[in-house]
Amino acid sequence: MGSKGLNLKFLETFVWVARLRSFSLAAEKLCTTQAAVSNRIATLERDLGVRLFERDLRNVSLTPHGQRALPQAEAIVRMVGEFERSIADASSLRGTVMIGAIDSIVYAWLPRLFERMKEAYPHVTIDLTVDTSINLARQIQDGQIDLGLIMGPVVAPHIRNIELCAFDCLWIAAPTLTLKPGRLRIADLSDYPIFAYSKGSQPHQAVLRAIEAADVEPGAVRVFNSNSLATITRLIRDGVGVAVLPQVVVQEYLEKGELRILDVDARLPPLNFHVAFADNPGNALPALIADMAVEVAAAFTLR
């Protein structure tokens, strides 16, 4: 290796070309030219004395040397980023961070996270998207949002997932709903639709499995889907049906007596939430906010 040592910017360029398998996409990601990316890789290969990439007209692929080098290069870039974050003046950070969140997080502790962010990063602007976990996971992978607060994890290359919290799911209905007293079976709910989360989501699948396990005729229990907690809570408060929801998102209505918890013998698994973000060298904000989200979620859970 040359006496100059390794250039961190060149290592970061190597990581992005390896991840995106494209010099042009890496140049776009790094806000530079394709010629600059090619020059950095050529210089890095010359300094290391090995070829890192095989190139042809259509594809860029790692050589065996490149495959061995990539995990170490990623680790170096990540450690430098963590070092920079540890000494950075948070109040000086600027820019826009695109955050995606699901309704359950919005109703629970997202306002507190935004308060913490405003205190710590006064010059950072938030661009918020509220959507389903499935859609947000895709947007994280496509780079449309920087960080997602979702029912995860997102299983994809270069996506970091950190556990946030878990909410127990309960059967919820209005006090005015005509149901027999005491413990209920799913069959006892058949006069009313069950409102679940959006189709394909974890809680929606859990409701379908609970119905399948119950001794009811096929089609006897109707399941309505919605990705809006505001819509679900409004409909069940009006006595339209029963819902399966985390207690934290309807706590206000429970305390007011507008909703009640039903004792249904079908137990549902808790909802597990993650913060997911792309492990992007050079962008410290998502990792910093992810750490903050972990702290806020823990404090909320311990209330």
The CA radius of gyration of the chain, in Å to the nearest whole number, is 25
Q: What is the 3-state secondary structure (H, E, C) of 110-154?
A: HHHHHHHHHHHCCCEEEEEEECCHHHHHHHHHHCCCCEEEECCCC
Q: Residues 121-131, buried b or exposed e (16+ Cβ, 10 A)?
A: beebeeeeebb
Q: In what order do the strands lie in the sheet with 194-196?
A: 223-225, 194-196, 242-246, 169-173, 260-262
In this prediction, residue 3 carries a pLDDT of 40
pTM above 0.75, yes or no: no
In this prediction, residue 285 carries a pLDDT of 82
In this prediction, residue 235 carries a pLDDT of 94
> Cα torsion at 200, 101, 112, 246 (round to 10°)?
-10
Which helix (H) or strand (E) segment holds residue 276: the answer is: strand 271-278
Q: For the chain, what is the total number of helices (H) and then of strands (E)?
A: 11, 12
Spatial distance between the Cα atoms of 288 and 30, rounded to a whole number of angstroms: 20
* Pick from 155, 150, 154: nearest CA to 132: 150
The pair of structure tokens assigned to 85 is 């974050």
In this prediction, residue 290 carries a pLDDT of 92
In this prediction, residue 228 carries a pLDDT of 86
Return the DSSP state at 50.
S
The set of residues, in sequence order, having a beta carbon less than 8 Å from that of 214 and lying 6+ positions away, is 185, 186, 187, 221, 266
Planar angle of CA 251, 225, 183, nearest 5 degrees = 55
In this prediction, residue 92 carries a pLDDT of 63
**Positions in the chain whose pLDDT score sits under 70:** 1-5, 57, 82-93, 281-283, 302-303
Neighbours of 19 (CB within 10 A): 19
In this prediction, residue 105 carries a pLDDT of 93
Spatial distance between the Cα atoms of 124 and 96, rounded to a whole number of angstroms: 6
* Pick from 32, 33, 29, 1: nearest CA to 15: 29
The pair of structure tokens assigned to 27 is 């140049």
Neighbours of 165 (CB within 10 A): 22
Q: What is the 3-state secondary structure (H, E, C) of 51-93?
A: CCEEECCCCEEECHHHHHHHHHHHHHHHHHHHHHHHHCCHHHC
Whether the CA torsion 130, 136, 141, 142 is positive or negative: it is: negative
